[in-house]
Amino acid sequence: MRIPALLVGAPLLLGALHAQCLDTTGGSPAGLVATGTDPVDDEGRSAPIALGFNFPMAGSIAGNYTHAVVETNGVLYLTTGGAATGTVNFGATGLGSLRGIAGSSPRVFPLWTDLWASTINWAVTVDTSVAGRFKVTWIDVEEFFAFGVPFSMSASLFASGAVEFSYGELPPLPDSNTFAATGVSIGNQVGTATTPSSNLLAGANSGAVGLLFESLTGVVPTFSDRSILLAPNGTGGYTSVLSCQTGTHDNNGGGCYGDSFYQLFPDAAAASPALQGNALFLTPNSNGYSAAWLPGAAATLFKTPVAATDFARSDDGQVAFDLAAAGLPALPFPGGSTTMLWVHSNGFVSTTGATNDGGAWNTEFGTDFEPSPSLVKAPETAFWAWHDWNPADTAGGPIRWHYEAATTTLCITWDGVENYSVPTAANPGRFQFQFDLTSGSVWYVWDAVDTNTTSDFGSAHAIGYSPAGASSDPGSMFLAQPGGNAITIDGFSAIRLTAAPEPIILGSGSSNPMTYTVANIPDAAPPAQVRFGFLTFSVAPLAGVDLGFLGAPACALNVASLDVIFPFSSVGSDTVGVPLVYPPPLAPGLAFWSQAIAFFPANSFPGGLNAFGITTSNGLRTQF
């Protein structure tokens, strides 16, 4: 089907059919009392509170429960009217807390960890106003001493024995040493010491075990703005289902150009044929780098390490390399120069060690070994040939450096360094950065790229460059292209497409009013500051088709068809907002894809490369 004609403007403010999953209104204070010397908003627990019905739990000690004991730490215990047994202060400490000791009370935990009050609006409330439902809501809590973004959540118990958890926007859990989990347990030491964590968003089923949970320790919870129903499965355990999901606007692939640039290969099988034997050449310009792909050049460019110095071997480690102490000149780069380089074992070099703390900026994985688009957020200037190498494996070679004074070239070589594989096998690779300490030019040279994809940690590669600090994400570009196309990055910010507010289906079956904003639109007639283009919508996405065949290499098309087109224009401002309303009939789960395309004089910018004179934004998926 095609998208019906979209309405522009004219808000339709009717009753919401599918609004936010979490409702924090209603209810009354849970009557918490401090459990020790800590204040009640840190370590508080209620007396038993009547549910108003019998709550069945197959396989538990009592079978049915009439009361709940509520805690600040994201858990409630079930009792038959007496005090809870087997309680845990300061949040769950591990799987043992979820199982409980012999004779301990069942426990229900939307997010059980060490929580405390984050704002003056903090509260834990209980709502029994709906027959057959007992609801507890934690409002404005956060992990103990996180001083981060407050979040809210609720747990609802139903007379059927089902439990539903609802969440607002959840921040990352910053402390990887603090246990956190979501789920339900019949207590009484249920399960075993090896009962596994489950993905509750993927239809988990615990079989005959009355314990179903997902460990959230040190990760970004995936439940934001969602509800999860845990229902008895009829065999003594529980099954999970996603019971509510709010609409989202999510990025769906990059466009072209920008301050940072990179290409992401999902695994070694994709990276090896694209990289092996080839090179990438970066030349500094006024605001960044010109990047040129050099197919087949590695055999000529690779410089065999002679009188090389080995860096200390480590896995996922980094080494501070003092150029001045080694008697070498500083490395010039756009915006400055440095006498210190930080060499990371996983294939990237930066101007300070801050970049190498992947957990601080790699929000996709929270690691420095799993390549991802988060490289555009790295806090210091960095050069990326990112891959999970293992120089600690002495079956392979080390990372080493040598200097060729005649050409003022510093070479940093991954010299036969081993890659991970399962089972362990000899699969070394060879890669080299070459830094010209006079001009600031940089060569990336791939002499041998392993094809093994069996590593438990992934085998992806990401290549490119990012200046210090967060920059717009241009998406994965086509840097590795046949023919040696050049791509100039010269202070040009990629056009960006965003949309707000989040999509909601109204009672009429149409959407709420939203605005799609196109930013960083280039001047189509310099210096007149006249900007124009169009916003297109499709019922299906594309996986970033390179528009080089149209004369716009390194620009990606992310929509499968031009089903609906809205032109936009501006004089002066480089930002335009397009107000839209999606017409009925809409249903939860329905998605549309969009992308902005803007014009500039052909062959004029960036760097005369783009003969067609168009630039594309990131793709955007709007899902109801």
- Band (14; pLDDT cuts 50, 70, 90): very low
Per-residue pLDDT tens over the stretch 118-163? 777 899 999 999 999 999 999 999 888 766 678 999 999 999 999 9
Place of tokens 């990438």: 280
**Residue 15 falls inside a structural domain:** no
Residue type, 438: T
Residue 490 has pLDDT above 50, yes or no: no
554 plus 590 within the same structural domain: yes
Q: Find the Cα–Cα–Cα–Cα dihedral 265, 444, 289, 533, rounded to 10°.
A: -20
**Residue 299 falls inside a structural domain:** yes
Q: Parallel, antiparallel, or unpaired: how do β-strands 261-265 and 226-232 relate?
A: unpaired
**Mean pLDDT of the residues in the chain:** 86
570 in Cβ contact with 532 (< 8 Å): yes
Structure confidence at residue 345 (pLDDT)? 93
Domain end, chosen from 489, 518, 541, is at: 489
Most confident of 357-366, 505-514, 515-524: 515-524
Q: How far apart are CA 175 and CA 356, in angstroms?
A: 19
- Band (417; pLDDT cuts 50, 70, 90): very high
333 plus 435 within the same structural domain: yes
357 plus 430 within the same structural domain: yes
Residue 482 has pLDDT above 70, yes or no: no
Across 65-81, average pLDDT:
97
Structure confidence at residue 160 (pLDDT)? 94
Residue 234 has pLDDT above 80, yes or no: yes
Q: How far apart are CA 441 and CA 193, in angstroms?
A: 56
220 plus 313 within the same structural domain: no
Structural domain count, the chain? 3
Per-residue pLDDT tens over the stretch 349-408? 998 766 666 666 666 666 778 888 888 878 788 999 999 999 999 999 999 999 999 999
Q: How far apart are CA 526 and CA 590, in angstroms?
A: 41
Sign of the dihedral defined by the CA atoms of residues 557, 559, 563, 568, in that order: negative
Per-residue pLDDT tens over the stretch 568-614? 999 989 899 999 999 988 877 788 999 999 998 887 654 455 788 88
Across 202-212, average pLDDT:
95
Residue 19 has pLDDT above 60, yes or no: no
Across 86-109, average pLDDT:
95
187 plus 279 within the same structural domain: no
Domain end, chosen from 457, 489, 521, is at: 489
Q: Which helix (H) or strand (E) holds 386?
A: strand 382-387
Across 508-524, average pLDDT:
86
537 in Cβ contact with 594 (< 8 Å): yes
H helices of 165-305, in order, are 268-275, 298-301
Structure confidence at residue 7 (pLDDT)? 34
Residue 11 has pLDDT above 70, yes or no: no
- Domain span at residue 286 reads 261-489
473 plus 601 within the same structural domain: no
**Residue 255 falls inside a structural domain:** no
Per-residue pLDDT tens over the stretch 295-350? 899 999 999 999 999 999 999 888 999 999 999 999 998 767 899 999 999 999 99
